Structure 1
Amino acid sequence: MFKGTIDENLNKQSIKGSEVKKLREKIIETYPSIEKYLEEIWPKDAKVLKSKIKVEDYLVQVYLIDDEIRFMENRDKIVIPTMRILHQYPFMMPHMQCDKGAIKHILSGSDVMCPGLTSPGGKMENLERYQVVAITAEGKVNAMGIGITVMSTEEIIKKNKDVAIELIQNLNDGLWKLTRPAATL
């Protein structure tokens, strides 16, 4: 989704305390296992700003916490952590594992296809449609992407063709490069 370079000169805006509170509640509701760590990720006294990044033909809302992009909100209003947050808290969302053959495609920005999950190197959790998932690879420790399921696990197994997971962010994409620790936004 974040192919190419993203302009580091983001048009940042402050957000109201009530909006911050609602966003934190939405994160806890979406990722309940992260609740006890939310204060580490998003301290209550942190400076919170929002900005928009043009992606393909629409805008993605990003949230900067103490000048670091830590969450984004897609066009469907789903709040998604960045890859860096996922790597720090890998237990926060379900994982879907692709076979080794899918790695180069996902790292170049392709969605995850059903056969990459149903082949011998793939592993799936029992999930419904429209769930945020960490995309891992056979033989690798860290996630290589974050996506949203467009089919349930049952549908993926039954159909075994077409897109199973829409890729939101992957390692080394424009957002990954923009959120690198040394970046000053």
Structure 2
Amino acid sequence: MFKTFTIKDGVSGQTLVKSSVARGIRSKILEQYPALNPHIEEILPKKAQITLLKGEEHLNIVSHNGEMLFFNHYDGSYYPNLHLLHKYPDILPKVQVDRGAIKFVLRGANIMCPGLTSPGAQLDAGIPEGTVVAIQAEAKESAVAVGIMKMSSDDIISTNKGIGVDNIHYIGDGLWKGAQ
């Protein structure tokens, strides 16, 4: 989604949203990520002036004080920016890829099941399909990507074939570079 994205070319406009819209965004984000509850006042205070950056292909980026925090596509689910995920690493469930998969993940590739089940990888049981996850890399401290589970973790373990996680935002993509 963000391979060729740049803030200069990818954002067509920005809008300061009304307080009622800001409350709606904040409540939807809290509903999606209940682990953010203790930190929400630091991230998006109640009276915060939120800017919505509108991008090509119906991309929306939620920004506060010049910091890009969340994004969504076609008014769907909100996904945290990796910079935010590095500040608050426990807001998403985690999966870990082995060393062999790291270079592919950092080029935007989806995560294949064998990269999640091999030695060096970690995958907790019970993560349902469609869950937004932080993608960790073996021997790395911080998340390297944000993804969406294409299969449940139990299905990944049992089949060990195909795409396990869709990579939607990774270190080095256009959103990462634009948010620095």
Once superposed, which parts of structure 1, at least 4 consecutive aligned residues long, lie more than 4 Å away?
A: none
Q: How many residues align?
A: 177
TM-score where L is the length of structure 2: 0.93
Deviation at 1:79, TM superposition (A): 0.7
Q: Which residue of 1 aligns with 2:43?
A: 41
Deviation at 1:53, TM superposition (A): 2.3
Q: Which residue of 1 aligns with 2:163?
A: 163
RMSD: 1.4
Deviation at 1:155, TM superposition (A): 1.1
Which blocks of at least 5 consecutive residues in structure 2 are unaligned?
none
Deviation at 1:179, TM superposition (A): 0.3
Aligned residue among 26, 29, 37 for 1:27: 29
Work out whether residues 47 and 67 of structure 1, in 8 Å CA contact, stay in contact via their aligned partners in 2. no
Q: Which residue of 2 aligns with 1:14?
A: 16
Tell me how far apart the structure 1 counterparts of residues 77 and 162 of structure 2 sit (CA, whole Å).
23
- State the identity %: 37
Q: Which residue of 2 aligns with 1:136?
A: 136
Deviation at 1:120, TM superposition (A): 1.0
Q: Which residue of 1 aligns with 2:115?
A: 116
Which blocks of at least 5 consecutive residues in structure 1 are unaligned?
181-185
Tell me how far apart the structure 1 counterparts of residues 34 and 118 of structure 2 sit (CA, whole Å).
30
Tell me how far apart the structure 1 counterparts of residues 109 and 54 of structure 2 sit (CA, whole Å).
23
TM-score where L is the length of structure 1: 0.90
Deviation at 1:37, TM superposition (A): 0.5
Deviations 1:121-149 (A, max 9, x none): 11112200111100001111100000110
Tell me how far apart the structure 2 counterparts of residues 72 and 175 of structure 1 sit (CA, whole Å).
10
Q: Which residue of 2 aligns with 1:52?
A: 54
Tell me how far apart the structure 1 counterparts of residues 5 and 120 of structure 2 sit (CA, whole Å).
32
Tell me how far apart the structure 1 counterparts of residues 79 and 155 of structure 2 sit (CA, whole Å).
24
